[in-house]
Amino acid sequence: MKISSFPFQTNNWSSVPKEEHKGETGIACWQTQMMNDIRVRMVEYSPGYKADHWCSKGHIILCTEGEMDTELQDGRTMKLTKGMTYFVGDNCEAHCSSTKEGCKLFIVD
């Protein structure tokens, strides 16, 4: 990843509006900041959330609360719990995430 030039700044996530995105089940609430071509998000999945699509976008994801399962299109499932990170590049393994109890994530993509 190349991080293009932008000035030093801080962000108070409590002032960033939340956007709701419906999943196949449940809701994902996104707070998004764009830094040139880099999207930085705080995401909260409701209990019972399951994504409604296979995603091929690359991400760096830190789980800050709860846990989620990420199914890869080849059938493998990876569990992410509080304090864990996963990394995947653009157009690598397609993935679909879900959570039973809900979770909070910090995502850079």
Work out the pLDDT band at 10, boundaries 50, 70, 90. very high
Dihedral over Cα of 32, 107, 70, 102: its sign: negative
Average pLDDT score, the chain = 96
* Threshold 0.85, pTM exceeds: yes
Architecture of domain 35-108: Sandwich (2.60)
Work out the pLDDT band at 67, boundaries 50, 70, 90. very high
* Domain edges within the chain: 35-108
The pLDDT value recorded for residue 2 is 76
Work out the pLDDT band at 25, boundaries 50, 70, 90. very high
Give yes or no for residue 109 having a pLDDT over 80.
yes
